[in-house]
Chains A and B, each alone.
Chain A
Amino acid sequence: MKANMLTFTKQDSPIHRLTGATKLIIFVVWSVAAMITYDTRCLAVMLVFSLFPFILSKVKFRDYAFVLSLILLFFLLNQLAIFIFSPLEGVRIYGSRHDIVHLAGRYTLTWEQLFYQFNIALKYAVVLPMALLFLLTTDPSEFAASLNRLGVNYKIAYSVSLALRYIPDVQRDYENISFSAQARGIDISRKEKLSRRVKNIISILMPLILTSIERIDKISTAMELRGFGRKTKRTWYKTRPFSSQDYIALGLIALIAIASTVITFYDGSRFYNLFEPN
C-alpha cells in the first residue's frame, strides 16, 4: 500500500559524501542553467554530465521508479498539451517551416515543432537526474542546516526540518480521521456527487486542521522550553564542513553553467537553429 516514495537511504558514494549545501547549490544552478538554454548542443552535453554522477551515486532504480513513472506521465501530458495548444510554436521560434504531415484542421506536424519539443524533452532529461539525485542522496537532517548555510534565516530553515519530521504523523492522523468518517457514513469516493463530495471532504479536513493546530501548539511549546529562538545564530548537529570534493564539484558546476550560458547567448538567441530559412 505504501509506495516507496523519494526517501533518502544511507549509502556511501562520492555523491552522498558531498554536503547538503553543495548539493542544494548544484541543483539550483543546474536547473536554472537548463531552464535558460534551448541550445541543443548544450543540453546534450549537460545530459551526459548529469548521467555521470547518477551512475556514480549508486542509487537504486526501485527507490525512484514510482516517482519516475509519475514524472514521465506528466511529461507526456505536457508534450501533448504543448502540441494541442500551440502546434506551430516551433515554426514561430525558428522562423521557417518544413511540414512532415498534415493531421487535421490547424494541426500540422512540422520538423520545427518536433525539434522544439525534442529540446523540451531534453530539458526534462537534464534536470530530472539532478533533482532525483538531490532528493535521494541528501540526508533530510542536513536540509535545514544547508538552507541556513546559504543564508536562509534559521527559523525558516528549521521549519523545513519540522515539516519533514511531522509529515508521517499528519498522514497517520489523516488516515485515522478518514477511517472514522467513513464509518460514520461520510463518503469521499467517486460514488458520491461532486457537491456532496466536496462537503464531505471538508468535514474530514476540519478535524485534521484542528488536530494539526493542536500539534503545532504542542511543538512550539516544547521548542520554546528548549530555548529555540533565543539567539540570533544557531549551530547544527548534522552539518559537515566543506571538503575539497565540495569545492571541486562547485567549481565544475560553475564552469558548466557559465559555458552553457555563453554558448547559448553567443549568437543572440536562446534557441539553436538547425533550419534553413525558407
Chain B
Amino acid sequence: MKKAVIEFADFGFQYRAQKEPTLHGITLTITEGEKVLIVGPSGSGKSTLAHCINGLIPFAYSGEMTGSLRIMGQEQQEMSIAELSDRVGTVLQDPDGQFVGLTVGEDIAFRLENDAIPQAEMLEKVNAAAIAVDIHEFLSSSPQELSGGQKQKTTLGGVLVGDVDILLFDEPLASLDPYTGKKAIELIDRVQREGGTTVIIIEHRLEEVLHRAVDRIIVMDEGHIVADLPAAELLSADLLRNVGIREPLYLTALKYAGCSITPDINPQHIDDVRLDEYAGKLKVWYENNNIQPTSLEYPPLLELRNVTFGYEKNRPVLQELTLRIGKGEMLSIAGRNGAGKSTLSKLICGFYRPTSGTIWMNGRDIGPDSIKERADRIGFVMQNPNHMISKTLLYDEVALGLILRGASVEHIRERVHAILKVCGLYAFRSWPISALSYGQKKRVTIASILVLEPEIIILDEPTAAQDYRHYNEMMEFLLTLVNQGMTVMMITHDMHLMLEYAQRTIVLAGGVKLADDSPERVLGDTEVVRSANLKETSLFTLALRSGLDQPSEFVRRFIAYDRRVRGR
C-alpha cells in the first residue's frame, strides 16, 4: 500500500465573496508517485482545488473550508504557505507572470535564495535543476530572450530545485503552441519518472495531455467530482461530452464510423488504439461521406504586396511578403513565436509602416492612411481584453469609438444596441465591465470594434484561455459574422480552431510565407507543421494508421461531417 500524499475527505470550500460553495463533498486520495489529470470546464472548481493543495487558499484567497484536507499526512489548515511550498511545487498558467528573476539562473535560484541556502550550494543545485529541465545553456538569458516553452522550463526548474514531493501544474498548455505543448507534456512525464514525484496536472485539453500516459483522470463539474477513472475507461464512457470537455478527435471520428469505444481497444493514445476491423469501418465511412467542398471565389479585399519590415536595421521580421485576403473569407495565420504574425497585423493597422512594399484595400494603396482612418475599415482585437477596455460601463466602452468620431447621441444608441444584440451582450448593457467573465469581456472588445463597422476584423488568439464551451460559443459567433459578410482574420496556433473554422491557413516562418492552403492540407504537410511549431492532428494519424490513401481528405470530410452533426 502506497503512502497517501493528498487526502480530501468530504471537503468543501466557499470563497468569502461568494454565496454558494465552489467545492462540495470532495473525497479524493492521491498516493505517492501517482500522475493524475484533473479536467473540467471553466468554473468547475478545478483551479480552486489546486489552490487548496498549494495553499493559495486560504493564504491568498480567503473563505470557509469544511471537511478535511491532509497534505503529506498533515492537516492543510495547520500548515503555513511556506511549509506547504516545501511539499508542493506549483507551475502556474502564465510563464511570463511567474518569471521573477532577471535571468534564468536567478529565477531557478529564487526558492533557494529565500531559504537562505549558501551560494556555493545554490550554484550546484541550480545547475542540476537546469540540466534536468534542459535549460542549462540559457542560464544567463533574460526572460525577454526566451520563448514561452523555455520560460516554462525555467519555472519547472525553479520548482524542482526545492526538492518537493508534489508537482502541481495549473493549465500548463494554456499559453504554449502545439509543438511546445507536446514537448512540455513529455518533459513533465520524464521528470515524474526520474524523480518518482507525484504529479497533478490541471487542464481542459484532454487529448494533448494524454500524449503521455496518466494513471487516472478526475473529472470535475460544478464543484463536484463526477468521475475518477483510468483514461481508457473514462474515454469509453459518455461522460466527457456532458461536462463540456472535448474528447480526443480520433475517438469522435471512430464513433462517427460506428465503432464502439471500449477500454480494451486502448483508446487513450492514437498510436496504441487497436484498429483491427475498425480500419475497414472507417474506410466505408470515408467513402460514404464524400461531401464536395463548396469552393467559393472571394473578391479581393486586402492585399499585401512585397511587404518587408524590421524593428531594427538589417533584421527583417517580414520579408517580401505577398498575400491576399478575400471579402467574406475566414482565414487564420499560423507560425511559431517571432514568425511575424503579430507584426503583420500591426502593419495592416498602420501601427508600424513597412520598410518597403505596399498594402492595398479595395484596390487602393492605404499607405498614406493614418491609424484612425484605417481603423474605420480594419478592426483589430487584441489577445488580452484588458489591454483594450478603458471604460467602467459596458455601454460606454462599446460607444467610445463612435463618440470619438463625433456621431450623434441617437445614432450611437441605435448602433450600440444593435451590436450588443449581435454579440449577445444586450442583457448586460448597463453592467459594469468588471462583473463580466473573461469570455464576455472578450466579446465586449469585439463589440467595441464592430460598432465602427469595419470591413475586416483581425483577432489575435480569439479563444485563448477559454474552455471548449466558450471556445465553441466564440467561434460560432464569429461564424455568424462571416455569414453576414464580415471578413475575419485570426492569428492563432490553436489547431482545432484552424481546422474547424478557417477556410484557409497562411503559415509564416522566419518572416516569409511558408504555406497558403486549406488547413487540412497545411496540417498534413510534415515540413510546414515542423517549422510552424504545429503538430500533426490525431485525425491525420488515424487515417494513416487505417490505411486511407488521402489522409488530408479524410480530415476534411471529418470536419465537414462534424460541423453538420454539431450544427443540428
List chain A positions with a Cβ less than 8 A from chain B: 1-2, 140-141, 161-162, 164-165, 168-169, 173, 176-177, 179-187, 203-204, 206-207, 210-211, 214-215, 218-219, 221-231, 233-239
- Please tell me if B311 contacts chain A, counting CB pairs below 8 Å: yes
Nearest residue (CB) in A for B108 is A237
Q: Which residues from chain B contact A203 at a C-beta distance below 8 Å?
A: 390-391
Nearest residue (CB) in B for A175 is B351
Contact indicator A237/B126 (Cβ below 8 Å): yes
Question: What 1/0 mask marks residues of chain B from 296 to 332 whose CB sits below 8 Å from any chain A CB?
Answer: 0000000000000001100000000000000000000
Inter-chain pairs besides A183-B349, A184-B401, A207-B389, 20 sampled, C-beta below 8 Å: A141-B103, A176-B384, A176-B387, A179-B346, A182-B375, A204-B390, A210-B389, A218-B97, A222-B92, A223-B110, A224-B59, A225-B55, A225-B85, A226-B110, A227-B85, A231-B114, A231-B115, A235-B122, A237-B105, A237-B112
Contact indicator B144/A183 (Cβ below 8 Å): no
Contact indicator A221/B102 (Cβ below 8 Å): no
Q: Which residues from chain B contact A229 at a C-beta distance below 8 Å?
A: 114
Nearest residue (CB) in A for B390 is A203
Contact indicator A236/B119 (Cβ below 8 Å): yes
- Please tell me if B100 contacts chain A, counting CB pairs below 8 Å: yes
Nearest residue (CB) in B for A162 is B100
Contact indicator B117/A223 (Cβ below 8 Å): no
Nearest residue (CB) in B for A222 is B98
Q: Which residues from chain A contact B374 at a C-beta distance below 8 Å?
A: 183
Question: What 1/0 mask marks residues of chain B from 379 to 411 whose CB sits below 8 Å from any chain A CB?
Answer: 110101011111100000000110011000000
- Shortest A275–chain B CB gap in Å is 52
- Shortest B110–chain A CB gap in Å is 5
Q: Choose among B90, B103, B452 the residue that contacts A225 (Cβ–Cβ < 8 A).
A: B90
Q: Which residues from chain A contact B90 at a C-beta distance below 8 Å?
A: 225
Question: What 1/0 mask marks residues of chain B from 398 to 435 whose CB sits below 8 Å from any chain A CB?
Answer: 00110011000000000000000000000000000000
Contact indicator A2/B311 (Cβ below 8 Å): yes
> Whole-angstrom distance between the alpha carbons of A169 and B110 in the complex?
20
> Whole-angstrom distance between the alpha carbons of A222 and B170 in the complex?
12
Nearest residue (CB) in A for B101 is A165
Contact indicator B114/A224 (Cβ below 8 Å): no
- Please tell me if B335 contacts chain A, counting CB pairs below 8 Å: no
A204-B390, A207-B389 given; A184·B448 CB < 8 A = yes
Contact indicator B119/A239 (Cβ below 8 Å): yes
Contact indicator A223/B100 (Cβ below 8 Å): yes
Contact indicator A206/B405 (Cβ below 8 Å): no
Contact indicator A165/B82 (Cβ below 8 Å): no
Contact indicator A211/B85 (Cβ below 8 Å): no
- Please tell me if B565 contacts chain A, counting CB pairs below 8 Å: no
Count residues on chain B whose CB falls below 8 Å from chain A CBs. Answer: 67
- Shortest B103–chain A CB gap in Å is 6
Most chain B CB inside 10 Å of its own CB: which residue of A140, A173, A207, A215: A207
> Whole-angstrom distance between the alpha carbons of A206 and B372 in the complex?
20
List chain B positions with a Cβ less than 8 A from chain A: 54-56, 59-60, 80-82, 85-86, 90, 92, 94, 96-103, 105-106, 109-119, 122-123, 126, 143-144, 158-159, 162, 311-312, 346, 349, 351, 371-372, 374-375, 379-380, 382, 384, 386-391, 400-401, 404-405, 448, 452
- Shortest B370–chain A CB gap in Å is 9
Contact indicator B387/A183 (Cβ below 8 Å): no
Q: Which residues from chain A contact B388 at a C-beta distance below 8 Å?
A: 177, 180, 207
- Shortest B202–chain A CB gap in Å is 15
The 9 closest A-B pairs by CB, nearest first: A222-B98, A185-B404, A218-B97, A237-B109, A230-B82, A183-B375, A227-B114, A203-B390, A184-B401
Q: Which residues from chain A contact B85 at a C-beta distance below 8 Å?
A: 224-227
Give 24 CB contacts A-B under 8 Å.
A141-B103, A164-B102, A180-B380, A180-B382, A182-B371, A183-B380, A184-B400, A184-B452, A185-B404, A185-B405, A210-B389, A211-B387, A221-B92, A224-B56, A226-B159, A226-B162, A227-B82, A227-B115, A230-B80, A231-B114, A233-B116, A236-B119, A237-B106, A237-B113
A179-B351, A184-B400, A221-B60 given; A238·B92 CB < 8 A = no
Contact indicator B92/A180 (Cβ below 8 Å): no
Q: Which residues from chain B contact A230 at a C-beta distance below 8 Å?
A: 80, 82, 114-115
Q: Which residues from chain A contact B60 at a C-beta distance below 8 Å?
A: 221, 224
Nearest residue (CB) in A for B118 is A235
> Whole-angstrom distance between the alpha carbons of A28 and B153 in the complex?
39
Q: Choose among A141, A184, A233 the residue that contacts B102 (Cβ–Cβ < 8 A).
A: A141
- Shortest A265–chain B CB gap in Å is 42
A140-B102, A184-B448, A228-B110 given; A207·B371 CB < 8 A = no
- Shortest A133–chain B CB gap in Å is 20
Nearest residue (CB) in B for A240 is B119
Nearest residue (CB) in B for A143 is B102
Q: Which residues from chain B contact A184 at a C-beta distance below 8 Å?
A: 375, 400-401, 404, 448, 452
Q: Which residues from chain A contact B112 at a C-beta distance below 8 Å?
A: 235, 237
Contact indicator B372/A182 (Cβ below 8 Å): yes
- Shortest B335–chain A CB gap in Å is 19
Q: Choose among A169, A219, A235 the residue that contacts B98 (Cβ–Cβ < 8 A).
A: A219
A179-B346, A181-B390, A185-B401 given; A225·B56 CB < 8 A = yes
Q: Which residues from chain A contact B389 at a C-beta distance below 8 Å?
A: 207, 210
Q: Which residues from chain A contact B159 at a C-beta distance below 8 Å?
A: 226
Contact indicator A179/B349 (Cβ below 8 Å): yes
Contact indicator A234/B114 (Cβ below 8 Å): yes
> Whole-angstrom distance between the alpha carbons of A253 and B483 in the complex?
75
Contact indicator B102/A1 (Cβ below 8 Å): no
Nearest residue (CB) in B for A207 is B390
Q: Which residues from chain B contact A164 at a C-beta distance below 8 Å?
A: 102
Nearest residue (CB) in A for B117 is A235
Q: Choose among B117, B375, B386 the residue that contacts A185 (Cβ–Cβ < 8 A).
A: B375
- Shortest A19–chain B CB gap in Å is 13
> Whole-angstrom distance between the alpha carbons of A11 and B137 in the complex?
19
Q: Which residues from chain B contact A236 at a C-beta distance below 8 Å?
A: 113, 119
Q: Which residues from chain B contact A233 at a C-beta distance below 8 Å?
A: 116
> Whole-angstrom distance between the alpha carbons of A187 and B373 in the complex?
12
Contact indicator A173/B387 (Cβ below 8 Å): yes
Nearest residue (CB) in A for B374 is A183
Nearest residue (CB) in B for A211 is B386
Q: Which residues from chain A contact B110 at a C-beta distance below 8 Å?
A: 223, 226, 228
Q: Which residues from chain A contact B59 at a C-beta distance below 8 Å?
A: 224
> Whole-angstrom distance between the alpha carbons of A174 and B126 in the complex?
34
Q: Which residues from chain B contact A183 at a C-beta distance below 8 Å?
A: 349, 371-372, 374-375, 379-380
- Shortest B434–chain A CB gap in Å is 9
- Shortest A237–chain B CB gap in Å is 4
